[in-house]
């Protein structure tokens, strides 16, 4: 597991939403103001006020400017890994070169 500053994660991902949309291509869909990433069985919704993680269509965790809330502990590792990837500079470079 990683030591995570969830408020910083929220800020970084929120600021990169448009870039992430381009990088992720077909893996992400924009619906209204939300960028939705599908990674079965996880669905990630990057919205204006929070980043939500769904497991089998049920809200399992979310991150906002106050921090993180895990509703279902089974997603904790996936949330941490996705957040690490979405905030990583290497993630952007890797995806663009592909």
Q: What is the pLDDT of residues 15-62, one digit of tens each?
A: 989 889 888 888 899 999 999 999 889 999 999 999 999 999 999 999
pLDDT at 25: 84
Which residues, in sequence order, are bridge partners of residue 34?
Answer: 31
Q: Is the pLDDT of residue 89 over 80?
A: no
Q: What is the mean pLDDT of residues 68-94?
A: 84
- Residues in contact with 83: Cβ distance below 8 Å, sequence separation at least 6, in sequence order: 4, 9, 13, 63
Q: What is the mean pLDDT of residues 88-93?
A: 58
Which residues, in sequence order, are bridge partners of residue 40?
Answer: none
> What is the phi/psi pair of residue 77, to 5°?
-65, -40
**Model pTM score:** 0.84
∠ CA 83-85-88, rounded to 5°: 105
pLDDT at 95: 46
pLDDT at 91: 55
pLDDT at 27: 86
Q: What percent of the chain stands above pLDDT 70?
A: 87
């Amino acid at each position: 597991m990683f030591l995570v500053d969830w408020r910083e994660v929220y800020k970084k991902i929120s600021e990169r939403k448009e870039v992430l949309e381009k990088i992720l291509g077909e893996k992400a869909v924009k619906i209204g103001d939300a960028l939705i990433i599908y990674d079965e069985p996880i669905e990630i919704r990057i919205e204006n006020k929070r980043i939500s993680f769904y497991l089998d269509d049920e809200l399992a965790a979310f991150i906002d400017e106050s921090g993180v809330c895990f509703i279902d502990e089974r997603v904790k590792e996936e949330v941490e890994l996705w957040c690490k990837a979405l905030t990583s500079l290497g993630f952007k470079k890797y995806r663009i070169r592909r």
